[in-house]
């Protein structure tokens, strides 16, 4: 099993190191190769996604990704900025299906900003389309208008085929869960969303066992904090999914807890925490490695054919939490505050 490991920037290297520590404890035949990406790619090869890094990612069975982004590179042309690395990987590898599960561990109910009765036992899955929408739509740019003023523009677009394939992923996922799917759009305003809604509704005919509901994105943002347990699977476009998944992460206590899988049509994938590079705490051993460790578990399940190893990791994370281990982002009184490495070791020891 060849795993391409792309640690990236900021806290990326620290959290990925702990995920590898846990993976190595499994004693499975992994072949691990690292490559620079993001700001690190720019430093190494003048490109956030160096050709050698992309080639490695393409050749691997799975990709474990840390995080990219650093304010030091904010002044660069957009094509050289760290974020282009992850967007380029998603596009080049056709990783259109982004699974972002948000589960509240019993031990972390107190760490959520919401009341325990609202979030206790929460288990939702956000299925985010990842290679289309306003993220990639052309044309985009900054131009001069006739009055000489500058105008920024992006294009939101979705093809039927793109909506259909992500809808199918979501319907199939719902089938393995509580058989409830909520499709999120802004069909009261956007043409793109109107088409999205029509295509999802048409696809629903093939899934009569799934209860489908449509919801506007503003209402969904509100419902997620009002009564999140009404949801099972949420399917939405790239931009809305980006925003709603950050929101959903806070229901679980911390954005440091949410893993993700980005899959192509054949199940090959890239695995990364949904959080960013957190430059403010980078290199200080403070970051929560659990989202990355749980991403490694998703990798074992979805791309490497080792669901039992995935469960072992998830159980070990649960035990480490039960035994009181907490990084600063999920710390509550009466628990034991630890750093990145100690948390990784606590999980590895409980495998």
In the structure encoding, which two tokens stand for residue 90, read together? 């998603």
Catalytic center residues: 135, 186, 218, 242, 246
Does residue 107 bind ligand IPM (CB under 6 A)?
A: no
CB of 142 to ligand IPM, least distance (A): 19
> Could you say which of Mg ion, ligand IPM, none residue 83 binds, taking C-beta under 5 to 8 angstroms by partner kind?
ligand IPM
Sort strands 325-326 and 336-337 into parallel, antiparallel or unpaired.
parallel
Query: Of the candidates 83, 172, 247, 342, which one interacts with ligand IPM according to CB under 6 A?
Result: 83
The residue number with the shortest CB distance to Mg ion is 242
In angstroms, rounded to a whole number, what is the distance separating the alpha carbons of residues 257 and 252? Answer: 7
User: What string of H, E and C letters represents the secondary structure of 249-314?
Assistant: HHHCCCHHHCCCEEECCCCCEEECCCCCCCHHHCCCCCCCCHHHHHHHHHHHHHCCCCHHHHHHHH
Does residue 242 bind Mg ion (CB under 5 A)?
A: yes
Q: Which stretch binds ligand IPM (CB under 6 A): 54-62, 83-91, 157-165, 225-233?
A: 83-91
The residue number with the shortest CB distance to ligand IPM is 83
Q: Which stretch binds ligand IPM (CB under 6 A): 9-17, 22-30, 80-88, 195-203?
A: 80-88
Does residue 133 bind Mg ion (CB under 5 A)?
A: no
Does residue 274 bind ligand IPM (CB under 6 A)?
A: yes
Does residue 70 bind ligand IPM (CB under 6 A)?
A: no
> Could you say which of Mg ion, ligand IPM, none residue 86 binds, taking C-beta under 5 to 8 angstroms by partner kind?
ligand IPM
3-state secondary structure of 325: strand
Closest CA to 220 of 239, 204, 236, 238: 236
State residue 322 phi and psi, 5-degree precision: -60, -35
Nearer to ligand IPM, 70 or 185 (CB): 70
Q: Which stretch binds Mg ion (CB under 5 A): 13-21, 113-121, 165-173, 236-244?
A: 236-244
3-state secondary structure of 141: strand
Nearer to Mg ion, 97 or 321 (CB): 97
In the structure encoding, which two tokens stand for residue 127, read together? 């299925």
Does residue 242 bind ligand IPM (CB under 6 A)?
A: yes
Q: Which stretch binds ligand IPM (CB under 6 A): 45-53, 82-90, 200-208, 249-257?
A: 82-90
Does residue 87 bind ligand IPM (CB under 6 A)?
A: yes
Sort strands 261-263 and 233-236 into parallel, antiparallel or unpaired.
unpaired
In angstroms, rounded to a whole number, what is the distance separating the alpha carbons of residues 101 and 120? Answer: 15
Mask: binding to ligand IPM, 275-294, rule CB under 6 A, as x and -?
Answer: -x------------------
CA dist 284 → 64, 182, 330, 341, 342 (Å): 22, 40, 17, 11, 13
> Could you say which of ligand IPM, Mg ion, none residue 87 binds, taking C-beta under 5 to 8 angstroms by partner kind?
ligand IPM
Closest CA to 243 of 274, 270, 215, 271: 274
Does residue 86 bind ligand IPM (CB under 6 A)?
A: yes
Size of the site for ligand IPM (CB under 6 A): 7
Does residue 127 bind ligand IPM (CB under 6 A)?
A: no
Closest CA to 127 of 163, 156, 87, 83: 163
> Could you say which of Mg ion, ligand IPM, none residue 345 binds, taking C-beta under 5 to 8 angstroms by partner kind?
none
- Please identify which residue in the block is written with the tokens 């795993």: 3
CA dist 74 → 9, 91, 141, 204, 280 (Å): 13, 22, 17, 43, 15
Q: Using CB under 6 A, list all residues that contact ligand IPM.
A: 69, 83, 86-87, 242, 274, 276
Q: Using CB under 5 A, list all residues that contact Mg ion.
A: 242
């Amino acid at each position: 099993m060849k795993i391409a490991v792309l640690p990236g920037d900021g806290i990326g290297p620290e959290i990925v190191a702990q995920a590898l520590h846990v993976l190595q404890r499994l004693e499975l035949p992994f072949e691990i190769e690292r490559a620079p990406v993001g700001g690190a790619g720019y430093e190494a090869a003048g490109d956030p996604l160096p050709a050698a890094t992309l080639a490695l990612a393409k050749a691997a069975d799975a990709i474990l990704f840390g995080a990219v982004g650093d304010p030091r590179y904010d002044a660069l042309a957009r094509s050289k900025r760290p974020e282009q690395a992850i967007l380029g990987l998603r596009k080049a590898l056709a990783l259109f299906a982004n699974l972002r599960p948000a589960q509240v561990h019993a031990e972390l109910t107190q760490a959520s900003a919401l009341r325990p009765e609202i979030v206790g036992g929460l288990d939702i899955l956000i299925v985010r389309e990842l290679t289309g929408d306003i993220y990639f739509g052309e044309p985009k740019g900054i131009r001069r208008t006739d009055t000489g003023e500058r105008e920024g523009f992006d294009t939101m677009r979705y093809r039927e085929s793109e909506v259909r394939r992500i809808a199918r992923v979501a319907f199939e996922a719902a089938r393995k869960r509580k058989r409830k799917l909520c499709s999120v759009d802004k069909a009261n305003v956007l043409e793109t969303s109107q088409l999205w809604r029509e295509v999802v509704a048409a696809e629903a005919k093939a899934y009569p066992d799934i209860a489908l509901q449509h919801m506007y994105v503003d209402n969904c943002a509100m419902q997620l904090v009002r009564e999140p347990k009404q949801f099972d699977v949420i399917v939405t476009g790239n931009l809305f999914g980006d925003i709603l998944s950050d929101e959903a992460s806070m229901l679980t206590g911390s954005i440091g807890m949410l893993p993700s899988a980005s899959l192509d049509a054949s199940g090959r994938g890239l695995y990364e925490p949904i959080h960013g590079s957190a430059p403010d705490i980078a290199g200080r051993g403070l970051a929560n490695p659990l989202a990355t460790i749980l991403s490694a578990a998703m990798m074992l399940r979805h791309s490497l054919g080792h669901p039992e190893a995935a469960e072992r990791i998830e159980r070990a994370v649960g035990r480490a939490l039960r035994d009181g281990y907490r990084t600063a982002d999920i710390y509550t009184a009466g628990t034991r505050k630890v750093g990145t490495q100690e948390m990784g070791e606590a999980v590895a020891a409980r495998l």
